[in-house]
Amino acid sequence: QVQLVESGGGLVQAGGSLRLSCAASGRTFSSYAMGWFRQAPGKEREFVGYINRSGGTTYYADSVKGRFTISRDNAKNTVYLQMNSLKPEDTAVYYCAADRDSIFGWSPRKYDYWGQGTQVTVSS
């Protein structure tokens, strides 16, 4: 089992940047692929990005491609989401999630463990 805690959210103006962190407990962090998701009020939780166990493969939603970057540091049990050129439509609660399976998936149902989320608000 792994426990996840996100941090780094906040209020930023459009065009600004934020870096989210997701710290994982346990000694098996490197055995999990990691995903970032977000959920805006009244909307379903949506896929943002994915990074595989080693950090060598990443995938992004089209809406964030070229603006967001996922990375991980397995020695620190942490995954990051660097968000640049933020837009008001990026406003949401952002969640990290861990997947025991090595096969990529964008559906939230595929992920086994979730953090509590961190709020990101982008003002226009």
- For 64-117, how does the pLDDT look when each residue is reduced to its tens digit (9 = 90+)? 999 999 999 999 999 999 999 999 999 999 999 999 998 999 999 999 999 999
* Residue 49 clears pLDDT 90, i.e. is over it: yes
Q: Taking all residues of the chain, what is their mean pLDDT, rounded to a whole number?
A: 96
pLDDT at 30: 94
Query: Helix/strand/coil (H, E, C) string of 2-69?
Result: CCEEEECCEEEECCCCEEEEEEECCCCHHHCEEEEEEECCCCCCEEEEEECCCCCCEEECCCCCCCEE
What mean pLDDT is predicted for residues 46-53?
98
